[in-house]
Amino acid sequence: MSAVFKQHAHMLVERLPDSATWDDLIEQVRFHKAVEEGLAATDRGEFASDEDVRRVFARWGVDAEG
């Protein structure tokens, strides 16, 4: 386990309110992990094109042009 990882984990815990639960911590960890994975994917050039996003929005009934 790297020192940077441990520092990041401590920062997550410190930012939680005093009333936080284990579920709150798990939610924050999952969020940060997803963001890191997304950033790594974009660094590798793996992201959706504008047209891909418009197609998905259209399937959901969202006007992406508006």
pTM of the model: 0.67
pLDDT at 9: 93
- Residue 64 pLDDT greater than 80, yes or no: no
pLDDT value at residue 63? 85
Report domain extents, the chain. 3-59
DSSP sequence for the chain = --HHHHHHHHHHHHHS-TT--HHHHHHHHHHHHHHHHHHHHHHTT----HHHHHHHHHHTT--TT-
**pLDDT reading at 66 higher than 70:** no
pLDDT at site 23: 97
Cα separations in angstroms, 44 against 9, 29, 47, 49, 62: 25, 23, 9, 14, 29
Q: And the tokens for 62?
A: 């969202």
Model confidence pLDDT, tens digit, residues 11-54: 999 999 999 999 999 999 999 999 999 999 999 999 888 999 99
